[in-house]
Amino acid sequence: MSPEALFRYGLLAYFLVYFMLAFVWRSVIVYRRTRVNPFVLPSSDDAYGYVGRAFKVVVLGCAMVVLFIAFGRDAPTWLGAYAALNSWVVSSVGWLLLCGSLLWLLVAQAHMGASWRIGIDAQRSTELVQRGLFSVSRNPIFLAMRANVLGLFLVFPAASTLALLVAGEILMQVQVRLEEQHLLQLHGQAYAPYCSRVRRWL
């Protein structure tokens, strides 16, 4: 297998593993433990619903780009590759971010336990998790997701992956603030001191 084919199929394999571990496997664990569906992204016509729909578009965009990289002819041309950033140094940093962010994400999800959700669960009260990675970052899962999208851009620098990086960054910054507002209302007396003690990111 050529280095190019190894890269293309390796990236596809990574994102398949990422999706299965970070979303499917974790969702099954939470459901078995609580009988609660952790997928709570709303579809309402407010800020929560808009961000939820936009997140789905970004995730779909990432999937389409990775699939096109793996199987599409002339993917660099169609996806707007930046030849100037195409180097083994940049790519190596990208792969380190991809692998490191997945490990960080899985550890953070384990620390969050049954409180893990995809979106804001306004119907049920969840524990305010302050242990593990949540003792150094209020949003370690989103931090891992930010690093993941940056890693994708670095391993395949292109206009398409840059657009996904920018869109993902904006959406995650908004979502984090919405979730923090929800947690402040839910855990007011405990959450305010936690915010003063632990930074939003690192």
Domain residue extents for the chain: 3-197
| Helix, strand, coil percent content, the chain, rounded in steps of 5 | 75, 0, 25
Backbone angles phi, psi at 126, to 5 degrees: -115, 160
pLDDT of residue 43 exceeding 80: no
Q: Rounded to two decimals, what is the model's pTM?
A: 0.93
If you write DSSP's letter for every residue of 123-140 in order, what string do you get? SS------SGGGGT-S-H
Architecture of domain 3-197: Up-down Bundle (1.20)
Mean pLDDT, range 58-77, rounded to an integer? 94
- Predicted confidence band at 124 (pLDDT cuts at 50, 70, 90)? confident
